[in-house]
Chain A
């Protein structure tokens, strides 16, 4: 049973557009949701995160929107750049226990 789901599996946008990556989860105990960015050949690097008490978190061009009632969140990447091309993973965490990852969204930004 996959506790964290991501969609779409792959996404292509043009440079300058806003990329929207979706994530949903099943475990109501999750209270912390980090997003990781992974480039080929590298490990995942923390990009931005949100606590379940918030409904929005912004950091530069990256914004998380969180809907606790629907158990959904999304990552918006504004003014997408070719350098943003990577795989993005949403994860859920509860009370310091294990981090559960989604299947990832592969983003391609075309110049």
Chain B
């Protein structure tokens, strides 16, 4: 079956530092990868949508300068949170799918705590 692994599962970083999170697709080719942040209030915010061989599309309020994303092949993507502050805390979810009309499979997320 299609699985998505994210690591680390949780991480703590000091305010102003950066941390990188990774997303691995297993059992299918991740043509598209969507990175979301789920706030403590449970709402999902789309950060960016990455499609192989296309430019990464960032949503309003999210920038490449703050959340650089790499999607080098059909099984892997990574995102870095640069200069993390309290408002960046939350559960970062990676969702991947093989085709535009297929369902997203989500990983378990990387929980970011900022102290």
Contacts and interface: CB of A to CB of B under 8 A. Distances in A.
Real complex partners, A and B? yes
Interface of A: 32, 34, 36, 41-46, 49, 87, 89, 95-96, 98-101, 103-104, 106
Nearest to A45: B106
Contact of B93 (A44, A96, A98, A104): A44
Given A44-B93, A44-B106, A98-B59, 14 more contacts: A34-B103, A41-B108, A42-B108, A42-B109, A43-B6, A43-B107, A43-B109, A46-B103, A49-B103, A96-B99, A96-B100, A99-B95, A103-B41, A104-B42
Interface string B25-57: 000000000101000011110100100000000
A27 to B, nearest CB: 14
B61 to A, nearest CB: 13
Nearest to A43: B106
Give the 6 A-B residue pairs with the shortest CB-CB distance, closest first.
A96-B100, A101-B44, A43-B106, A43-B108, A43-B109, A104-B42
Nearest to B108: A43
